Amino acid sequence: MNIYGIVGWKNAGKTGLMERLVSEMTARGLSVSTVKHAHHSFDVDHAGKDSYRHRAAGAREVLLASRNRFALMHELSEEDEPTLEELLSKLTPVDLVLVEGYKRDAHAKIEAHRSETGNPLIAGETVRAFAADCALEVDRPVFDLNATGEIADFILADLGMRVG
């Protein structure tokens, strides 16, 4: 599978860019999946719901399914957090997986940046370009944060993917 990341500090515009890129890539006929890293504990389940009650009772995995979708929740307990590679192996093959976060992993990335946050750039070796709301003096391409089509073109070219 082709993998490309979007990284940046909090409030840099990562999620909005991811959302626009998924829409853009799927409109071009690509199958796309996403992986998002969360730095905090999260729950897709709610107290009182049956699936929550199953987990609270000690189920290691709970698979919640309907005719429209399914979600598999796996309690890690004392296990280490899975690596990106381990998580990717659980996905059904698609044309492109967009990854939000995992800034230290080896896949190619675009860094989202908003000047109002005042944060420095991450700009690691694997950051191939920037999507920003301001001019940046860097040695890599810089795209307007909202130039979704141009960013998608860059990603596809960087991956050597031809569409259409």
Q: To the nearest whole percent, how much of the chain has pLDDT over 90?
A: 68
Taking residue 153's Cβ as centre, other Cβ atoms within 10 Å add up to 15
Per-residue model confidence as pLDDT tens digits over 64-97? 888 998 888 888 878 888 899 999 998 999 999 9
116-157 pLDDT per residue, tens: 999 999 999 999 999 999 999 999 999 999 999 999 999 999
> Shortest CA distance to 128 belongs to which of 148, 147, 156, 161?
156
Position 163 pLDDT exceeds 80 = no
Q: Which residue has 């309690």 as its token pair?
A: 75
pLDDT of 113 over the 90 cut: yes
Q: What's the predicted TM-score (pTM) here?
A: 0.87
| pLDDT of 64 | 82
Looking at residues 57-67, what average pLDDT do you find?
82
Own/partner pairs, 145-151, CB within 8 angstroms, 24+ separation = 145/13, 145/17, 145/112, 145/113, 145/114, 146/20, 148/17, 148/20, 148/21, 148/23, 148/24, 149/24, 151/17, 151/21, 151/110
Strands 127-132 and 61-65 come out as: unpaired
